Amino acid sequence: MNHLYAPWRTDYITGKKIDGCVFCHISQHSELDEEHQVLFRDADCFVVMNKYPYTPGHFMIIPHTHTDSLEALDPKVWMCMSTLAQQSVRMLKEGFGAEGVNMGMNLGSAAGAGIAEHIHLHLVPRFSRDTNFITTIAETRVYSIDFHKIYEKLKALVPKYLA
């Protein structure tokens, strides 16, 4: 029998549960940015690590505005998200060494959104040879590096890339 070591899952199983929208909780508690792995925040949006990433370095850009409707989002906030997306792609490629980036939004639960009540934009760094069949066959993801080390590395890059 093979064993996959994933100690970070303990927090998910035993950690405190957040009542209501998790993204609004993060938005409203800047004093907990380190605990929540927030990389950046401004008046319109925040950038936070995905706790259950597809690949190392997967993070999200999220408006402070609680909405499930992209079409209802203030255009100023959408422009902020778009600007942060451009800067983030540059950061992932130049600073983090990603060879490509998947970027996207799942709008609504029917579209696959895990947190459908609050829109968010995913940025997933990609590397040659980072795909395999374990996700399909074993419904398991292999995360090859410590989550907190990735957070620290990306956080150190933020002042250079995100404004």
Average pLDDT over every residue of 101-111: 95
Helix (H/G/I), strand (E/B), else coil: 93: helix
How far apart CA 74 and CA 154 sit, in angstroms, is 28
Report whether pLDDT(10) > 80: no
State the CATH class of domain 22-161.
alpha beta
Kindly report the three-state secondary structure assignment for every residue of 112-155: CCCCCCCCCEEEEEECCCCCCCHHHHHCCCCCCCCHHHHHHHHH
How far apart CA 119 and CA 109 sit, in angstroms, is 11
> Which of 3-17, 41-55, 144-158 has the highest mean predicted lDDT (pLDDT)?
41-55
Residue 154 contacts residue 147 (beta carbons within 8 Å): no
pLDDT tens per residue, range 118-162: 999 999 999 886 665 444 444 545 556 788 899 999 999 999 999
Half-sphere exposure (Cβ direction) of 2: Cα atoms closer than 13 Å:
6
Domain extent listing, the chain: 22-161
**Residue 130 CB partners (closer than 8 Å, separation 6+):** 55
Enter the DSSP assignment of 32. G
How far apart CA 67 and CA 154 sit, in angstroms, is 27
